[in-house]
Amino acid sequence: MTHARSAGPAVVLFDGVCTLCNGAVKFIIDHDPDAYFAFAPLQSETGAALLGPEQHELSSIVLLEDGQRFTRSTAALRVARRLRGVWPLYALILVPRPLRDHVYTWVAANRYRWFGTVDACRLPTPELKQRFLEVRARPSAP
């Protein structure tokens, strides 16, 4: 696994055209005052490079942390445990992963219909630019 990180010890890879996913990134930034997480869209060149030949489908968040790759509910909960004010959500890790992932997959399968999409991956403000590993993304269709 490639570890080309420019900020923070952990990288969150997200669907850059998903409105829900972009909202989640904003939420993470707002609750991560120590800038622990860096970000890259799954559709970006950086996202592809970090995932390597095991490209992941766009229906899952991917967390690269401590040399490991986490997806779906486990990734989301590991992110939550680091965030100010929402870390108690990490207790949901006690729910069996197949059940957690089933709920995660259901939401992921419906996210474009429920929340919509954006035409391009988010472009960070100048203050947040260092938290994003790459702002250019490869085109993809939802």
What is the CB neighbour count within 10 angstroms for residue 65? 18
Residue 91 has pLDDT above 90, yes or no: yes
DSSP 8-state code for residue 117: B
pLDDT tens per residue, range 9-35: 799 999 988 999 999 999 999 999 999
Chain length of the chain: 142
Q: Reply yes or no on whether the pLDDT at 125 is more than 60.
A: yes
- For the chain, the structural domain boundaries read 10-126
Helices and strands (H and E) in the chain: how many: 4, 4
Q: Give the end-to-end CA distance of the chain in Å, rounded to a whole number.
A: 27
pLDDT at residue 3 greater than cutoff 60? no
Write out pLDDT tens, residues 39-68: 999 888 888 888 887 666 667 899 999 999
Give the predicted TM-score (pTM) of the model. Answer: 0.80
